[in-house]
Amino acid sequence: MHDSLHRILGLDRLVEIEALLKTARRETDGRRKLAAAALPELRAALASHPDPRARQAEQALGRQSVDLDELGALATADEPGVDTTTVPLRQLDVLELPRRDALVHEVERLQGALQQIDDLAGTPVEQARALAALLGDALRHHHSHPGQPCPVCGGRTLDEAWAEQAQAQLHQLTQRAERLDEAHRIGRESRRSLRSLVPTLPPVLTLDLGADGVDTGDARVAWQHWDDLIGSSDPHKIAATASATFDALVNALQPVQAAARQELERRRAEWQPLADRIRAWTRTEQSSRQAAQSFAALRAAVTWLQKVGGKIRNDKLAPVAAEATGIWNTLRQESNVDLGVIKLLGTGPTRRVDLPVDVDGVPCSALGVMSQGELHSLALALFLPRAMMPDSPFRFLVIDDPVQSMDPTKVYGLAKVLHQVAQHRQIVVFTHDDRLPAAVRHLQLDARVRIVSLRSAARRRYRRRIWAVSWANSGGPGDGACH
């Protein structure tokens, strides 16, 4: 009855909208719970993982409001951050030694400088420098006092011939001193360059990383040998052994770095599946948060629609209910049952038509106190207004035997009601009970009564009669409108 009234009143769209909203609410309710459902499993996986990033993720998930950006950064981080074992491995991985050709170039420069120094070692370079200074002073004296004897020895006259010879000797002595100075300068620069190319022993090589599969012992010894060599005061030793010492350092460091990289890669491989799970949960949590917002809006929408829809339903029902009450009042005749305000209540499986009645002033439910005839009358009172709605495409009503279980007085009321309805619709009533035709005749209502007799073919006698009573809203009983 509820659904029938809904359709007649044109309220199907309300039901469709509410169903759509409830379906969407149910879907969003499921989505908003997905992240919370997956969280215990993720926490368990984090708790059993040794990576320090797992501890950071646990802390992030333990906060009241989870920072999804922080979780995303942890999931995509290549390194675990501050860690007593991973940081040293990373430091070993990034250790860099200079290219061998750069070091060989500096060694060759040092060797060339030392060779130049050695070549000049047997010459009186310091004496040449002092003599050059003395000759320079003498030449200046000559330019100031030309043609005078030497003021030092008092012998040879400082003439032009002497000046030309002294100038050539001064040039030779100066070149020899400059070559020696340049050789010492190059030697000092080469040693400084060798010292800057390779840093001093890194602290990470002094750590014990054997538990991580990295043995730094040989590399530490080789690096210390290099430091001792570069710190030596013997440049010839440096020039002679620097290349070999550097090669030994490279050969000792390579397996250490390879082991560190292998351990880092192993840790990355172990972390990657958990990082993928963190990223997946982060995406689910984002979707759940969006679904939670949609769920709240949908829940409010459903509540609002139910509230407003109830008012719309009852507003739409009010004219029908008023007409049904009027029909009931005509049908009930001597009944002491008063029909109250008819309402559409509930939704979904709890939807119903509320039919309140008063029996001698005592409120109760219609279905609990009304007789069969009264219930038939009530059903007819509800049916007729619905059938006469303006939206109905049918301009006639066919009613099958509504007189059953009716008291005689209610039959008279039925005849009056049908006569009123016939003002708007053509009415055809079939009945096995002759009380309705009798009431029509007694009340002198404008209706046509026909008798249909059913004969038994075997016994050739009438076995049943049906009265067909019709009202035509377009004219009198003789116009044939009921054919």
The domain limits of the chain are 394-483
What architecture is domain 394-483?
Answer: 2-Layer Sandwich (3.30)
**Closest Cα to residue 182, out of 91, 282, 115?**
115
187 touches 110 (CB < 8 A):
yes
What is the layout of strands, in order, in the sheet containing 448-456? Answer: 396-400, 426-431, 461-471, 448-456
Would you give per-residue pLDDT tens digits along the chain (483 residues)? 777 777 767 777 888 898 899 999 999 999 999 999 999 999 999 898 888 888 888 888 888 888 888 888 877 765 555 455 677 888 888 899 999 999 999 899 888 888 887 777 655 555 555 555 666 666 665 566 665 565 555 455 555 565 566 566 656 666 666 777 788 888 888 888 988 899 999 998 988 887 778 888 999 999 999 999 998 889 899 999 999 999 999 999 999 999 988 888 887 888 788 888 888 999 999 999 999 999 999 999 999 998 888 888 888 888 888 888 888 888 776 677 787 777 877 777 887 878 787 887 787 766 666 777 777 888 888 888 878 877 777 888 899 888 877 887 788 888 999 998 888 889 999 988 888 999 999 999 888 988 888 766 555 555 556 777 787 764 444 333 332
Cα–Cα distance measured from residue 164 to residue 350, given in angstroms and rounded to the nearest whole number: 132
Cα–Cα distance measured from residue 334 to residue 410, given in angstroms and rounded to the nearest whole number: 8
- At 480 the pLDDT is 37
- At 300 the pLDDT is 95
- At 137 the pLDDT is 63
239 touches 107 (CB < 8 A):
yes
Cα–Cα distance measured from residue 356 to residue 462, given in angstroms and rounded to the nearest whole number: 45
- At 130 the pLDDT is 56
List, in order, residues 6 or more apart from 117 with CB less than 8 Å away.
Answer: 180, 183, 184, 187
Cα–Cα distance measured from residue 221 to residue 271, given in angstroms and rounded to the nearest whole number: 34
| β-pairing verdict for 426-431 and 396-400 | parallel
Q: 3-state class of 121 per DSSP? A: coil
